[in-house]
Structure 1
């Protein structure tokens, strides 16, 4: 199973990537939503689940990225991460299989959430 991880904080992205790989996932990680948009260019998703921070620099924040993923790949589960739960009012997506993790969270919680949405 593969994870598209989008997180602008280097330390969080690095730790979560390493923990996910140790848990048996393939991980593609990006610093911004703008960078991650390149993964949406094919007809078949190159990932099984999107994990995205909501607030990131650039034109494409996590909400815009999630909406693009949902429009292109309606069955791909999405996990939002945020240190600002007030942003969740803008994060609603049509369809299901959306989970939110509020920062700070442990890597084990992220792994549990990924396994949950993939089952």
Structure 2
């Protein structure tokens, strides 16, 4: 099924160009020329869209105004919003992220850059929908779970554990997305020793999945486990994720590097920190991370 994108830009030429490029790449497109029209489209059929490409500077309602309204609406808050602007300063990028943007494009951008960012956005939306469906399938009794501990090796096992534990939290699909990102980091970058640059190179060559499977089959490396501990109180849900790798320098990931926003991966910690958890803290050498969710009393 094709993904539908909402394009918002007050320049008709920009809309026409993006619409043509994205349509040729298999996306369905709805194009509007103002922030007011964008909000009307979202109000009428917001669940129909997989991502929004939003011009930052527009007369009337600006891109930031629209972004803030999207993030304030519980039914739209997780919809990926890609901000477009001619201002590429780091401060402007950080401002967009603080307002809730998922991705950032600086004009002029290439066709390849546009498609890479859109593909990343809709993949993130697909994952969110997947976990929302899985969460709805779990028993409501899991909300009464007080503590649990799991140890596992693979992405498939991680997905099952994530869906189970997320159901014990308010807004389970929100928690599941960030929790899965942290666990995948623990598997890939921790236990399997794959670096950010390894993933970039292997994805570009189409060898990423094969390399993950090869390392999982390794007699030593493949036997490493990710351990997830869960604890609940009346006001808090706590996750502790630990891998058996050598750790990493987690300090630079406290804030996202604006240059990485156009990469095909590397947003996991940002997603977990900004969208899924109320607090995220790395411990030790970086192979232990604590994630907290506040619960209304």
TM-score, normalised via structure 2 length: 0.37
Paired residue secondary structure (1:41): helix
- 2:103 counterpart (90, 99, 113): 99
> Within 5 Å, which residues of 2 pair with 1:42-81?
42=44, 44-58=46-60, 60-72=61-73, 73-81=76-84
Q: Does 1:111 align with 2:115?
A: yes
Q: Which has the larger radius of gyration?
A: 2
State which drifts further: 85-94 or 11-20. Answer: 85-94
Paired residue secondary structure (2:104): strand
Paired residue secondary structure (1:63): helix
List gaps (5 residues or longer) in structure 1. Answer: none
Greater share of helix? 2
Distance 1:21 1:103, change over 3 A: same
CA distance in 1, matches of 2:62, 2:109: 20
Paired residue secondary structure (1:4): strand
Partners of 1:39 and 1:45 within 8 A in 2:
no
CA distance in 1, matches of 2:45, 2:38: 15
**Higher RCO, 1 vs 2 (CA within 8 Å, ≥6 residues apart):** 1
Paired residue secondary structure (2:59): coil
CA distance in 2, matches of 1:55, 1:71: 20
State the Cα deviation string for residues 52-95 of structure 1 (Å, max 9, x = none).
Answer: 0100111x11111111122221221110000023544542224x
Query: Superposition RMSD on alpha carbons, in Å?
Result: 1.8
| 1:83 counterpart residue number | 86
TM-score, normalised via structure 1 length: 0.86
State which drifts further: 14-23 or 107-116. Answer: 107-116
Q: Does 1:29 align with 2:31?
A: yes
Paired residue secondary structure (2:53): strand
State which drifts further: 12-21 or 66-75. Answer: 66-75
